[in-house]
């Protein structure tokens, strides 16, 4: 890993609370789909957990920019991101993380909640750009329809790739979109939506409690331990 400076170039509103930030870097960051970086706003105190946080890449490798995405809050870190102006420089430490996709994976599944979608986007965009034949099943849970980040991109990819299957779940209210399912990710739902679950390598990204729950669900279904890759998102 190394430290690289990036120049802020673009802000993209994904949902009412989720925003993507794009940067042009002084030198290329060679990362793998699924990895993350550290944003360092406080260079004087690298241990400052309020201003130096980890974010996943939310774009495929090899582009002329890097992108990170966050659900914004009133935290100091969120406010610093939101206040960025075009041309502002930010220091990154990257790449980080071992929960990665490899080209040889034939069948994969994602059990994702909320902002955990960010590394999934990196992986799926990579699969699309490389024209890989990987079979992908994504189960993506959010509180409501409006908070389904990257919905436009996911639907576009699904429309041109028969190997990509997506189930959108809404947990807190009846979804306005009939395509979405009202409820939570559970054993019966997975058996219905991913009937070949024992043949798939599962990625579970998200807050620790979500990850723990989905990891337990995979065990309950009898998925081999080595077929479940997890990454906890902390400090959000």
Q: Examine residue 32 and state whether it is found in any structural domain, yes or no.
A: yes
Helix (H) or strand (E) holding 12: strand 2-13
Q: Is 174 helix (H, G, I), strand (E, B) or coil?
A: coil
Q: Examine residue 196 and state whether it is found in any structural domain, yes or no.
A: yes
Domain closes at, from 71, 96, 121: 96
Strand 66-71 to 18-25 pairing? antiparallel
Same domain, 130 and 50: no
Same domain, 215 and 112: yes
How far apart, in Å, are the Cα atoms of 92 and each of 1, 8, 26, 119, 178?
Answer: 10, 12, 11, 17, 41
Domains of the chain: total: 2
Indicate the angle between helix axes 151-160 and 117-130, nearest 10 degrees. Answer: 30
Same domain, 73 and 145: no
Same domain, 133 and 210: yes
Using alpha carbons, select from 55, 97, 94, 47 the residue that is nearest to residue 78. Answer: 55
Residue 233, pLDDT score: 79
Domain coverage including residue 218: 107-232
Same domain, 51 and 140: no
Task: Write the pLDDT tens digit of every residue in 69-115.
Answer: 999 999 999 999 999 999 999 999 999 999 999 999 999 999 999 99
Task: Write the pLDDT tens digit of every residue in 219-228.
Answer: 999 999 999 9
Same domain, 70 and 135: no
First-to-last CA distance in the chain? 23
Residue 51 belongs to domain with CATH number:
2.40.30.10
Contact partners, residue 212, CB within 8 Å, separation at least 6: none
Same domain, 90 and 133: no
Same domain, 163 and 85: no
Predicted structure pTM score: 0.95
Residue 182 belongs to domain with CATH number:
3.40.50.80
Same domain, 64 and 120: no
Q: How many CB atoms lie within 10 A of CB 18?
A: 23
Domain closes at, from 44, 66, 96: 96
Q: Is 10 helix (H, G, I), strand (E, B) or coil?
A: strand
Domain closes at, from 52, 70, 96: 96
CA 232 to chain centre: 11
Tally of helices (H runs) and strands (E runs) in the chain: 5, 12
Q: Examine residue 102 and state whether it is found in any structural domain, yes or no.
A: no
Token look-up 């990196």 returns 122
Task: Write the pLDDT tens digit of every residue in 105-158.
Answer: 999 999 999 999 999 999 999 999 999 999 999 999 999 999 999 999 999 999
Helix (H) or strand (E) holding 213: helix 208-221
Using alpha carbons, select from 165, 162, 216, 156 the residue that is nearest to residue 195. Answer: 165
Same domain, 35 and 129: no
Same domain, 123 and 192: yes
Same domain, 190 and 128: yes
């Amino acid at each position: 890993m190394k430290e690289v400076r990036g120049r802020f170039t673009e802000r993209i509103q994904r949902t009412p609370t989720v925003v993507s930030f794009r940067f042009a870097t002084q030198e290329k960051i060679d990362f793998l789909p699924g990895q993350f970086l550290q944003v360092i706003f406080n260079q004087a105190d690298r241990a400052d957990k309020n201003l130096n946080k980890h974010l996943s890449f939310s774009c495929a490798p090899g582009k002329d920019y890097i992108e990170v995405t966050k659900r914004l809050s009133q935290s100091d870190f969120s406010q610093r991101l939101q206040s960025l102006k075009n041309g502002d420089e930010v220091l990154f430490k990257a790449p980080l993380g071992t929960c990665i996709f490899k080209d040889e994976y034939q069948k994969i599944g994602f059990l994702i909640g909320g902002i955990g979608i960010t590394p999934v986007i990196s992986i799926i965009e990579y699969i699309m750009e490389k024209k890989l034949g990987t079979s992908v099943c994504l189960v993506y849970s959010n509180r409501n329809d409006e908070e389904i980040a990257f919905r436009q991109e996911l639907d576009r990819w699904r429309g041109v790739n028969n190997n990509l299957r997506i189930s959108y779940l809404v947990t807190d209210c009846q979804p306005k979109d009939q395509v979405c399912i009202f409820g939570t990710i559970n054993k019966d739902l997975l058996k219905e939506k991913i009937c070949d679950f024992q043949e798939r390598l599962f990625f579970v990204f998200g807050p620790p409690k979500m990850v723990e729950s989905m990891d337990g669900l995979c065990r309950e279904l009898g998925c081999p331990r080595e077929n479940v890759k997890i990454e906890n998102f902390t400090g959000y």
